[in-house]
Amino acid sequence: MEIKNIYINDLSVFKDLKIDCENCFGFCCVALYFSKVDGFPKDKSPGEPCVNLNLDFMCKVHKSLRKKGLKGCTSYDCFGAGQKVAKITYNGVNWYESSELAEEMFNVFLVMRQLHEMLWYLSMVYSLEKEETLRRMSSIIIQETIEITLLKPESLLKLNLDVHREKVNEVLRKASNQIRIKFGSRNNKSLSKNYIGRNLKNVNLRGANLSGALLIAADLSNNDLSGANLIGADMRDTNIKGANLENSIFITQQQVNAANGDVNTKLPASLKIPQYWNE
């Protein structure tokens, strides 16, 4: 039986999980390690500002990042952690003017980013899965995670992320199994992890477990990935032109930004088509 859009149209849960650079202090441009080979301006250490970061925390070359080959910059997504740390955790105090707090702020940002990524996946479960028990489970842990994100910096830095992540992963595993079965999955085992450069256009990937798969430069054009679990999949330069990812699960904006699609690529309503796909 063909399944058409099993998802609930409730996108409000994602509203605080989208990047808002204007309300951030350029945390991703400072706190992260950069490697030139990964599409960043130059190699740099964590805590060192990017050469293109202005004093207003905006990027000097933002409008020409893709033309300059800076795919790492255009792909990165903090899941809204940047503005959360800037405006809520530190109430508008920035690292440049309060340099004594800079290292702490950067470390808090790295923790917050992981928490917000968990919230993204949990929000997908909550908004996409009709089964009430699973939806209730995700709702409870979403609230718990949100409360954690509101902790003071010292508490966030002492947080045992591995313990909380395992609680989150339990919900995600149950959701993956249930949703994938609806789209024809016959087992819970993941497929091969290495698909680098492979032609997968005609491979049946409905309900497939592609978690953590290397899909770098793989050809998925015009394929139907309904119900496919894409959590942690590396989609750099993956060809998804004309592909149907509308009902794929645990896909992120960062994965979409890193891939090559077009106007015929179908995405979940929570994600947007990158502008440079049309350039």
For residue range 59-84, list pLDDT tens digits in order: 999 888 888 889 999 999 999 999 99
Inside any domain, residue 64: no
Write out the two tokens for 216: 């770098």
Inside any domain, residue 251: yes
Q: What is the pLDDT of residue 67?
A: 86
One-letter identity of residue 27: F
Which of 123, 152, 182 finishes a domain? 182
Which of 182, 205, 230 finishes a domain? 182
Q: What is the pLDDT of residue 62?
A: 86
Closest to 36 in 3D by CA, of 77, 79, 82, 68: 68
| 20/137 same-domain check | yes
| 163/202 same-domain check | no
| 87/131 same-domain check | yes
Inside any domain, residue 63: no
Inside any domain, residue 214: yes
| 161/117 same-domain check | yes
Q: Quick count: other Cβ atoms within 10 Å of Cβ 106?
A: 17
Q: Domain range spanning residue 252?
A: 187-279
pTM of the predicted model as reported, rounded to 2 decimal places: 0.91
Q: Residue 60 in contact with residue 26, Cβ under 8 Å?
A: no
Q: What is the pLDDT of residue 266?
A: 97
Q: What is the pLDDT of residue 190?
A: 55
Positive or negative, the CA dihedral 212, 42, 51, 64 is negative
Q: How many angstroms separate the CA atoms of 206 and 214, rounded?
A: 17
| 176/197 same-domain check | no
In this predicted structure, the answer to whether residue 42 has a pLDDT above a threshold of 70 is yes
Give the Cα-Cα-Cα angle 17, 23, 24 (nearest 5 degrees). 80
In this predicted structure, the answer to whether residue 106 has a pLDDT above a threshold of 90 is yes
Inside any domain, residue 54: no
CA distances from 65 to 166, 178, 217 (A): 36, 40, 20
CA 192 remoteness from chain centre: 22
In this predicted structure, the answer to whether residue 47 has a pLDDT above a threshold of 60 is yes
Q: How many angstroms separate the CA atoms of 242 and 261, rounded?
A: 7
CATH of the domain at 192: 2.160.20.80
Q: Residue 251 in contact with residue 257, Cβ under 8 Å?
A: no
| Residue 200 pLDDT class (50, 70, 90 cuts) | very high
Inside any domain, residue 60: no
> Structural domain tally of the chain?
2
Give the pLDDT confidence of 156-169 residue by residue, as tens digits: 999 999 999 999 99
In this predicted structure, the answer to whether residue 118 has a pLDDT above a threshold of 70 is yes
Q: What is the pLDDT of residue 174?
A: 93
Mean pLDDT of the chain: 91
| 170/121 same-domain check | yes
| 147/225 same-domain check | no
Closest to 179 in 3D by CA, of 12, 9, 7, 13: 7
- How many alpha carbons fall within 13 Å on the CB side of residue 273? 19
| 172/228 same-domain check | no
| 279/195 same-domain check | yes
3-class secondary structure, 266: strand
Q: What is the pLDDT of residue 85?
A: 98
In this predicted structure, the answer to whether residue 192 has a pLDDT above a threshold of 90 is no
Q: Quick count: other Cβ atoms within 10 Å of Cβ 18?
A: 16
| 27/99 same-domain check | yes
Q: How many angstroms separate the CA atoms of 34 and 179, rounded?
A: 36
| Residue 172 pLDDT class (50, 70, 90 cuts) | very high
| 221/251 same-domain check | yes
Q: Residue 156 in contact with residue 112, Cβ under 8 Å?
A: yes
Residue 86 has phi, psi (to 5 degrees) of: -70, -50
H/E run at residue 206: none
| 219/198 same-domain check | yes
Inside any domain, residue 5: no
Which of 182, 212, 227 finishes a domain? 182
Q: Residue 85 in contact with residue 104, Cβ under 8 Å?
A: no
Inside any domain, residue 68: no
